[in-house]
Structures are given as C-alpha cells and as structure tokens.
Structure 1
C-alpha cells in the first residue's frame, strides 16, 4: 500500500464510535511519513483515541505510529456579531418548557466535554431560577481580577458563572424583562473566561426575553434542544427549535431526556412519558437526535448532591450517554464554517 492508498484508507475512518464524521471530512490527517501518522482532531474525544488508533491500523492493514492531538477552532456566529474574546464556541442548551431536566443535562454535557479534553465554561442564564451553584456545589461570590471582571470559579474542570453567586439563594428575582436581559449580557461579558473551547449556556425554558437577548446580543455558535418524549414537552420544544432557526443559529441536535425508566426492583423497562417523539421531531426538522437519556434515580440524586453523573462516576453507563452526546455536539460543530476574522488584520495605511 503506497502513501496515496494509505491516505485514502485512513481518511475513510470514522473519528469516534458514535459519529459518522470521518478523518477525511475534516482533513484531520496532517502528515504521513512511512508508518508515522500525525492526526489533529477538530473536537474533543480523548476517550476515543485508542479505539481510533486501532481502527486506523486495521484500515491500513499494518501497525502504525499514530500521534493524535486536538485543535478546536472558533466557528461563525450570527450576522452582526463577532466571536467573544477567550470563548471559541458558545452552545445554548434550551428547552421549550420547564421540568424536562435541561439544567442537569447542560451541566453533564459541560462536564463530559471537559472529560473528553476540552476547556469548558458553563453560564447559568436562568436568571429567575439559577441552579448551577447547587449542581456544581459552588458557594460564595467570585473574585474580581485587575480589569474588574469576575473570575469564574471552577469545579470538576469547568469554569462557571451564575447570578446565583451574587444573590441570596432564598431571594426572589422580581425583575422585569430589560433587567434580566442586561443581567445576561453582563454575566457573559463581565466574566473573565479563561481560553474556552466551549461555553455551555444553560438557558431558561421558553422563548422570552432571555432567548431574544441571546439571539441578538450574544455570539452563539449553535443550540441544543432538550425535551422529554411527552407530547406537551415536544410541542414547546418545536417552538424553541424554530426560534433558533429564525435567528440563524444552527441547531446541533435534540436530546431526549427521561426516555425510558427501568424498575429498580424487577428490571422492567417502561416509556413513562411516551416514545418516539424526539426521533420524529429530529426527522421533521432534519436535525440529529443526539441521544436518549433514561429516567434514573441516581442521575437525580447525584445532581442534588452537587456531584452530577459525569463527575460522580465518569465511566458509568449513564455518564457514557452524556459523553456520547458531548462528542456528537463537538462533531456537529466541527463541520460548521470557521471564524476566520483573526486571519484578517486591518492596519492603517
């Protein structure tokens, strides 16, 4: 097998076991020198590297010395906005209605991306009901740096910012829409994010002021919709998805939460909230179904303890669901148009 044949064989190899994205589609193979291969991946999937090496060797039908690294690029955001300093990609995690487990899902996706090797931040945009301080077991007000920006506290390798750090946990947020919108912009812009590959924004439910502010003022790379199989949740989730489409924010996919419950006594599986709804929604809107998460007591218990599933037991079955979803999100982002503004510098003539 000559170099050209080897490259063709290797470029057809899928990057991860849960994504059809190949090495060739993202030009990940940077050099081939005899049996030494340099691969630079465009999204974080550290848990897949050994398996990828094995599949590359199988495709080439020989042992190879494969060096794998990761370089995550910034991607284009809405027209009229520019990529934020120190934040390459902003991912909004949204739902049409409350109670579908969006915040728990957002936190675990953030943790999963970090476990896969990315630099990750988490912004709690639910001004009326912030939950990130509890989910990450973070207390106290953040420190300010020399520029008077908040230094985001980190937990489990994820930088976090929330209005919950700045107010009493028992104090109601009796704010009108403009104040809430301004609070979101300040949380985003006045937090000293430290060189993030991904910033996950945990959105409040619905399609109100926060969502409009996000689409008009915050540079967003893509959105993820969280729903349950229940018809009522799906109805609202569809509205949320269409809102992102109208504001030209790519929808990276749909996550179906509470898809199946397994009885802890007898092992019987039951689709308590219905079945197939998110898959139909995915087909109707031509967006990926990123994953289906179970209705499981330990996910809830771990979240309430401030030790979300991916942090509490990163190799558990449930954590692997989140990590697979995170890898699919990374792969979906990797094929979007890149932001090249940093390559064009205007100088005075």
Structure 2
C-alpha cells in the first residue's frame, strides 16, 4: 500500500534533485532556494522538500514562516510561496508550534518523518523537486535516497566552498553517491568570491577553483561558481522578498547558467 501512495504523490514529478554537501555552512539551503528560483524563472514548476530537520531555514528565506500545511485526500498540501503557485515548499518548519522549537529526535523518528514527507505530500505536477538535505552522509540521507530511488529519475547536486577542508568533505560525499548508486549531476562551488556592493568587483576572499578541480579529478561535471552577494544576504536579513530580489543579484546569472546545465543534463535524449 505504501508503494502505491508514494507512486501516486510523485507521479506528476518529472525530476528529483538532491542537494548534498559533506559539511554544514556551505550555503546548501541558499543554493537549493536560488536553484529553485532560477528554474522557476525559466518557466518550470518547482517544489522544494526541506529535509534538513534540525535547521529548516528555507521557509524564512521565502517568507513562508507561519503558513499552515493543509490536509487533502492524498496527504499534505505543500505551501505555495508565489501567487502563480509555481513554487511549492514542504518543511518541518511548518509543523513546529514555535519557529524556535528544536527538533530533538533520535534517528528512527527522523527517518520516519522523511519517509512521510516523501509519501504523503501531494506535489501535483512538477518539473523539478529539489530536496534540501542535512550536511553529511548520515542515516537520514540513506533514508531519503532509498525512499526516492524507486520512483523517479534521481540526481545529486553537490555544494562546496572553495577551501580545501570543504572540498575534502565533498569528496566523501562523492563516495557516498557512488556507494548509493546515485547519479551526480555536478558540483557547485558556492561563496566563490565576494561581490563589492559599491563597485561590483569580485574578490576571492577564500581560494578559488577547489570545486572545479575536484570535479575534474572525480570525472563529474562542474556546474559553476556562485559568488557571495551582500545585496542578497541583506534582503534575507531585512526580511525583504527574496523572490523579487534574486534576479537583481550578481549571483543570478551564475545560478541561471547552472540551472540551464541541469535542464540540459536531465532533458530526454534526442530532444
């Protein structure tokens, strides 16, 4: 019975992208959100499944905090974050009584909720479902991959920052993908340079190129560099409309380029 339910709620989803990183603090949730918006700007219908149970930050980014998840015949209805219902979001943030509540759960309970998110959310018709995962290669990742694997084309986008430590952690994430039989669509190097808000010059405050070098050695595609843009960060801090601010950002062309590569790599052969 469970398999039928899973197939039913994911039947209208064309592609599923898992956004992974080997460590925290690389901006994975931000990249997940920006990637969803970049795909949406090309006319795609996009869903975001936030399975980062201990740090559900995407509802805040998309000004969806405090919105309620409703029930329908086939399960939970995700929260729509734009008027045209082009972006839908499901997060544990919608299920907490207070935004500051901590999720103090052992693994089995987390895994059960992840499986419920996958089986019980009525996504409808989507071009892409982007799954924002917690950092690392824990049992939560295994639960997510194993629950999603039977039903749709599944691919992973790995996020790193330029530093050697972060690249080393992503190398372990590549090993995880290989062991799980998960196709790697490519690597994104985030925080690759700082764009000055006054002169628009990009300065490499960390190093640069670690992600591209890793992709070359691993034989997987390098999708591109995403700069740090204080304009976008400020919009989040001040509670501005991230959806409206994103196209004005210097990160937008970089994410639009990455989104195009993802669409090309997931397009049916010969189309």
* TM-score after normalising by structure 2: 0.87
Shift in CA distance, 94/336, structure 1 to aligned 2, threshold 3 Å: farther
Q: How many Å apart are 1:207 and its aligned residue? A: 0.5
Distance 1:128 1:110 in 2: 21
Contact in 1 for aligned 2:232/2:246 (Cα 8 Å): no
Alignment partner of 2:105: what SS? coil
| Aligned residue among 100, 104, 107 for 2:26 | 100
* Alignment partner, residue 261 of structure 1: 194
Distance 1:199 1:264 in 2: 32
Contact in 2 for aligned 1:135/1:306 (Cα 8 Å): no
**Higher strand residue share:** 2
Alignment partner of 2:192: what SS? coil
Q: How many Å apart are 1:140 and its aligned residue? A: 2.6
* Alignment partner, residue 127 of structure 2: 197
Q: Where in structure 2 are there 5+ consecutive unaligned residues?
A: 1-5
Distance 1:193 1:330 in 2: 20
Contact in 1 for aligned 2:38/2:259 (Cα 8 Å): yes
* TM-score after normalising by structure 1: 0.69
Contact in 1 for aligned 2:190/2:225 (Cα 8 Å): yes
Q: Where in structure 1 are there 5+ consecutive unaligned residues?
A: 1-80, 338-349
The two structures, once aligned, show a CA RMSD in angstroms of 2.2
* Alignment partner, residue 76 of structure 2: 150
- State whether structure 2 residue 92 is matched by structure 1 residue 163: yes
* Alignment partner, residue 141 of structure 1: 68
Alignment partner of 1:137: what SS? coil
Count of aligned pairs: 256
Work out which of the two has the higher radius of gyration on C-alpha atoms and give 1 or 2.
1
Q: How many Å apart are 1:151 and its aligned residue? A: 0.9
| Aligned residue among 307, 314, 320 for 2:253 | 320
Shift in CA distance, 142/306, structure 1 to aligned 2, threshold 3 Å: farther
Distance 1:144 1:224 in 2: 31
* Alignment partner, residue 219 of structure 2: 286
**Higher helix residue share:** 2
Distance 2:7 2:139 in 1: 21
Indicate the larger mover: 91-100 or 218-227: 218-227
Q: How many Å apart are 1:315 and its aligned residue? A: 5.4
